[in-house]
Amino acid sequence: MSAGPPVDPRGPRFAAAITTVVLAIVLITSWWPLLAVQTVIFAVGAFIGLRYAPYSLLYRSLVAPRLSPTSEREDAAPLRFAQLVGFVFGLAGTVGYAADLMLLGVIATAFALFAAFLNAAFDFCLGCEVYLLLQRFAPATGNQA
């Protein structure tokens, strides 16, 4: 399965910045429908393609035209895997909040926030780099993508 064409590396970072803000708002307000929306956004990036991910559309239509073009390209597979990791945490968090399992909701959302923040602030893709570690705990993810 092809992960899709390579992308402008600033796009995912922009997406991570919005994700950071969204997840912070979720934690502060406990308003889980917002987390549900974010989870759907993760799902689009992971399962359908980065091209259709809402933040990516926002980047291409609003931000990219204002920046100088770059020839730098980043492979899509790691990014989609990271969206998948985000989706798993987002889903766990949404279920936690919705089912009144506050601890699950808060912990899952905080993990997602941690990863999104590392990506936005340090350009470090946690989900991508600890793929090996994740695989050791959850061998099933080894068959993805």
Partner 1 sequence: MGWTGLWIVLGTLLAGTLAGALLRWREGRIRPTRDEPAPTAELPTQVTEVLVAAPAVTLVQISTTFCSPCRHAHARLAALAESTPELHHVDLDVTHQPEVAHQLGVRRTPTTIAFDANGAELLRVSGVPVNDELLSALQPHFANR
Q: Which residues bind partner 1 (CB under 8 A)?
A: 9, 24, 27-30, 74-75, 77-79, 81-82, 102, 106, 110, 113-114, 117-118, 121-122, 124-125, 127-133, 135-136, 142, 145
∠ CA 127-36-97, nearest 5°, is 95
Q: 21 or 62, CB closer to partner 1?
A: 21
**Contact partners, residue 39, CB within 8 Å, separation at least 6:** 87, 90, 91, 93, 94
* Nearer Cβ to partner 1 (39/83): 83
Instruction: Work out how close the CB of 47 gets to partner 1 at its nearest, in angstroms, rounded to a whole number.
Output: 15
Between 65 and 112, name the residue whose CB sits nearer to partner 1: 112
Q: Identify which of residues 29 and 52 has a Cβ nearer to partner 1 in the complex.
A: 29
**Least distance in angstroms from the C-beta of 32 to partner 1:** 11
